[in-house]
Structure 1
């Protein structure tokens, strides 16, 4: 027959009962037990106090170290705060395990419970944790910063803010987009601002009878006349295609990302007016209607049949 395990609390209550009956030996044992427990409780309290103090100091040191590494972006403290909080809670967790062990709780059981809880939380928040991991990588690599013009997940706009979970993008329609960092980090990131310049490419068609050299020189003159067009790299104009009803000429020039939209649209208007002012034409498809009767074979009329009697 299996024996029933003994209750570990029963001897203590037996000791209390025998001490209450006036047994001097039990009174001394109870006093010794309470004294030892008081010492352990005092030591546990000291460990907890030291743990909380040490957690704050270590977190501050970690935060300062991250901000020192991230000194090129002093206005953004997101990564430093995150690393500091992680270090703080890690030190507190280690200190709590030491406190529980000092009070007689087995550390292995506590670690097992914490591991199971961490696994359950990780499975429940795996999407959120992936965004946090991607946010940490974005804050470390810095493919963009607040104020940059970027293209993220196929949407263009200005970065208005970023944290460990989302990147806030203000698009050109005035809409505020919240993009999860997991999708941003896993897709192509285009930083329009970082290069400091952006290329404009315009292709127009001229008539086959027009002077192509005049068309190319007109494109270059119009580009160089705009003060927003950069002189380095120089503007480029070439014949790029022979279409069905026109010859395609292309202009490529560079401007700053802030002036790109207005410069491009102003050049379209200037090319239209400049070409017409120099006698260059823009051919367009014509629909030619041909009379069908011209292709109908005219047959001689057959004589009418004479009625039979």
Structure 2
């Protein structure tokens, strides 16, 4: 007991100082956590209220704000213990170069994610085709882009792969053109077929009038004359309109007395003269 008292008497100021600094560090960490949560909550509330930010940008802003708050808190903690932050920054810079070389692929994903968010080739909810993958964009984070396919599959693709491929965005322009192709027989009237398609185009309320629908003879195929109906719809109406028109075009073409031919081949059998003479000699 006497040793403890003597130790306290001789080191009390140092112990109190260290304890005070430790409490300050804990308080700073706790405050940093609260501030980071508050900043994330504020970003989400501001986005919900004004709806000015793309949903893909919100996770990036939240993560960046959190890192900044904790870095500032760490600087305060180092300053409390009297650490020369200038030397630390220089050391971190050198270490950053080494880590950057070791993690160049990871850093390339981050850089690609920043470029995707800056140039905005797609937004959350857009339906895109990237390379061999098609799906709806769910999220862009620092490292990956999250897609969901038609059949509900989850796809996580590195941002560098997305950035290095051509992006086909089916949603961005707000409208799409559908091409309905139907073949009629060569003996059928082309004008009658075109009249059927024009009537369908006029009666379809989901077609946009600008650009206006068009009908044309698109090709002379081997077994049929191919007619085409082109029309524009909004993105939301595209697929249902396409499915409905494929059914209706077939029914209306047949109702008009026109024929939808099957692929045909004419085969001519020519007997070998030598084989015929041999057969006659044997007889």
Return the TM-score normalized by structure 1.
0.66
Establish whether residue 73 from structure 1 lines up as the match of residue 57 from structure 2.
no
Select which of 224, 227, 248 maps to 2:205: 227
Q: Which has the higher contact order (CA 8 A, sep 6+)?
A: 2
Paired positions, count: 266
Which structure has the larger Rg over C-alpha atoms? 1
- Cα distance, 1:200–1:302 mapped onto 2, change above 3 Å: closer
What residue ranges of structure 2 are gaps of 5+ in the alignment? 1-12
Select which of 105, 130, 150 maps to 1:127: 105
- Cα distance, 1:59–1:299 mapped onto 2, change above 3 Å: closer
- Cα distance, 1:74–1:187 mapped onto 2, change above 3 Å: closer
Match of 1:283 in 2: 261
Match of 1:259 in 2: 237
- Cα distance, 1:58–1:226 mapped onto 2, change above 3 Å: closer
C-alpha distance after superposition, 1:127-164 (max 9, x if no partner): 22222222233333333332222223332222223322
Please list, as runs of the form range in 1=range in 2, the aligned pairs for 1:72-221 lying within 5 A after superposition: 72-73=52-53, 77-92=58-73, 95=76, 102=82, 107-108=86-87, 110-221=88-199
1:222 Cα offset (Å) = 1.9
Contact 1:79–1:139, Cα closer than 8 Å, also in 2: no
- Cα distance, 1:280–1:301 mapped onto 2, change above 3 Å: closer
1:89 Cα offset (Å) = 4.7
- Cα distance, 1:296–1:273 mapped onto 2, change above 3 Å: farther
Contact 1:153–1:183, Cα closer than 8 Å, also in 2: no
C-alpha distance after superposition, 1:86-137 (max 9, x if no partner): 433554565566566x45x6944x3443223222322332222222222233
- Cα distance, 1:240–1:98 mapped onto 2, change above 3 Å: same
1:208 Cα offset (Å) = 2.3
What residue ranges of structure 1 are gaps of 5+ in the alignment? 1-34, 304-309
